[in-house]
Structure 1
């Protein structure tokens, strides 16, 4: 680089030596909390207030696939129409709280299961993380019709 005067060279050197002013913009961290419409401890099946359509979601904390499915389930529960899930009772089970669940589902979560009146569970087919809310609602409603 050729400079015409020593003053210009000194000014250029000073400009490179000084850090330019940088403005950093940060977003506040967002914490998502899932509050399903109906969470139950699933009291005895003979209880008259127990809904006939019950789901169990096996998940664990800090699982992005689990969080995505929880968000979609929450949205699907709010949809109305012929495939409405308003009467479905959802229970979320943290697999890290039970060694048996962790052993069974540690590599499979999120796992969604339909709970039958006799207490047995039927694992539903795995949903793609890209599935839309409406499709999710229809597939869950179809699983209950079977």
Structure 2
């Protein structure tokens, strides 16, 4: 093979690699595009424990996973699921592509243990959500009355 042909072949191979990395949807691949809405913390009836609810919307073509939540309110924020009457702690929660992860009463939710203080109605609590793929999202969450029901 001549030097000119070898150079042409190398350039063609490199161009194919660049196009496949940048072009199309990569066979369904893409990036998650996350946003948070409807977040709130009901004022806890106890001074040492609280719950949190929110929706993570993913308008991207790739799924992601909520892996952790941190907050100045508590050094121990955990993810939980509820099936029937059984609540259990989990290490992560899926955020489907072009879908949402809904944390709501009676279902998946956040638990805050060992509170730094008992939050009051109207107070704003900062949460940082961490994901397997996406950059962390920081949101400010209002404390609502214990009887608050979104959309109600």
TM-score in terms of structure 2 length = 0.26
Q: Going by fraction, where is strand more abundant, 1 or 2? A: 2
Q: Going by fraction, where is helix more abundant, 1 or 2? A: 1
TM-score in terms of structure 1 length = 0.26
Q: Which has the larger radius of gyration?
A: 1
